[in-house]
Structure 1
């Protein structure tokens, strides 16, 4: 099935970094109409909105919290009301901050963290699915290599991302007869980790800190546009033969999407 000529996509976490790059690629390369859901309108996000809503109507910015069910329902409602349908989701929002060893994390922090980093995916997918079934739409989950590792102080993050990988497999199985595609994508080590380098020492294991610091010093971190091009491409025209997979952005099977 050919992708729509002006696909309608909902993107979370578009205010900076990887999400902002995905937004720019969807708008510039795929002529998409994109609704964003984020808590704040950063100057960078506002600049993209101003650029693509100047004479056109390509970006719908919805302010809200992905960890709240009602805000996810609202972005689906406003998107479909404005443009008449929905072709894809890119679920990028989340927090990567080291929060300490699992033994020491206050239990009061557990529910808000899991709501933002895992339950938010269900909060958005559920109201979006009826529309995605109609369009044979795509769902892209931004996962992490941490989902298959055990980095100290990243326990909740790793747990949430591992749950995301499982979610992709389950949705793919449950929706196999509807044409909905879903992938959980490992975006690699993206150059947006200044917080980790400044706040990780003392929480993360020394060996893990060396890995991230070394990649930064050697210039090995990825530009957000590199995995961003794959995330955007999958949201528009992802291959159903890979449905449900947890997949590396640099996998050779995704080469067609790499810009």
Structure 2
């Protein structure tokens, strides 16, 4: 019998309104987990700013949200540019009664290479997007949330928890994301700000599809559920973490990996 993948209606969302009245910013929202997460937050009532370097993609996602009755607009952002990040976070905080939810999901794989053969420039590129991008975002999001409280959800990876051949830069960056998450959670809890991370396994996204053929075969063979995750499954968990249902969670990382790390 083939592995069962849950079938969700429409875009995989549940419009129960538990995020109604909250402004949200999704960085990296043009595709993959970011795009699906933006749709899910909007379906649950949040007013979403979809931000991405791919402005066309961000505009498409925002248009899809509004067509389904949600509230969204798009912005171009370059997470490697602190000024670009500051501008978008400031705009998001000025809308919809303040910034209450931030999802930092922008990321790149970088070239797959053994560590000793990895060019320093490629290592630097991956860290600038995947780690420094989260730093630049949180550095602006935290002050924006001090008056109202809020939730920051950073996308890490199971690569931060286990070694994967050819992923030295990606793993180093995602391990850094875990450290930033834990540190900020302790520093800003008194301000009513929760900071969390999510570590997905292999998810059916364009970034994973762009990997060389066979790159994830060994990993998937070790997944007890015997399949990739759908972006909607990760997005559903992000929406839970953003809601009051997760009000006692902060500083923690949450693995969504089909059981891969349960060894």
How far is the alpha carbon of 1:54 from its aligned partner? 5.6
* Contact residue 45 and residue 70 of structure 2 kept, 8 A: no
1:230 matched to 2:237? The reply is yes
Instruction: Work out the CA distance in 2 between the residues paired with 1:225 and 1:31.
Output: 17
Mapped to 2, the partners of 1:240 and 1:197 lie a distance apart of 40
- Select between 130-139 and 151-160 the one with higher mean Cα deviation: 130-139
Q: CA deviation at 1:135?
A: 1.6
Q: How does 1:27-66 map to 2 (within 5 A)?
A: 27-28=42-43, 30-42=44-56, 45-53=58-66, 58-66=71-79
Residue 254 of structure 1: aligned partner: none
- State the match for 1:204 in structure 2: none
CA deviation vs aligned residue, 1:84-142 (integer Å, no higher than 9, x gap): 41101101110124431221122223333211000111101111212212221001011
**Aligned to 1:128, which of 138, 141, 152?**
141
Residues 47-126 of structure 1: pairs in structure 2 closer than 5 A: 47-53=60-66, 58-126=71-139
Higher RCO, Cα 8 Å, sep 6+? 1
Aligned residues: CA RMSD: 2.7
Runs of 4+ in structure 1 displaced over 4 angstroms?
54-57
**1:66 to partner: Cα distance:** 1.3
Q: Which runs of 5+ in 2 are unaligned?
A: 1-17, 259-263
Match of 1:146 in 2: 159
Asked whether the equivalents of residues 39 and 65 of structure 2 are also in contact (C-alpha less than 8 Å), the reply is no
Aligned match for 1:183, one of 182, 186, 196: 196
Alignment TM-score, normalising by the size of structure 1: 0.82
Distance 1:219 1:55, change over 3 A: closer
Partner SS state of residue 83, structure 1: coil
Q: TM-score, normalised by structure 2?
A: 0.81
Post-superposition shift, 1:34? 0.9
Residues 72 and 124, structure 1, Cα contact 8 Å, conserved in 2: yes
Quick one: distance in 1 between partners of 2:219 and 2:101? 35
Flag the structure with higher helix content. 1
Q: 2:177 aligns with which of 157, 164, 177?
A: 164
Match in the other structure for 1:10:
25
Matches of 1:242 and 1:54 in 2, distance apart?
33
Farther off after superposition, 160-169 or 95-104: 95-104
CA distance 1:250–1:135, change in 2 (3 Å): farther
Alpha-carbon distance between aligned partners in 2 of 1:92 and 1:102, rounded to the nearest angstrom: 25
Partners of 1:132 and 1:238 in 2: how far apart? Answer: 19
- Provide the residue aligned with 1:211 in structure 2: 219
* Structure 1: unaligned runs, 5 residues or longer: 201-207, 252-259
In the superposition, relative to structure 1, how do residues 12 and 199 fare at CA in structure 2: closer, same or farther (>3 Å)? farther
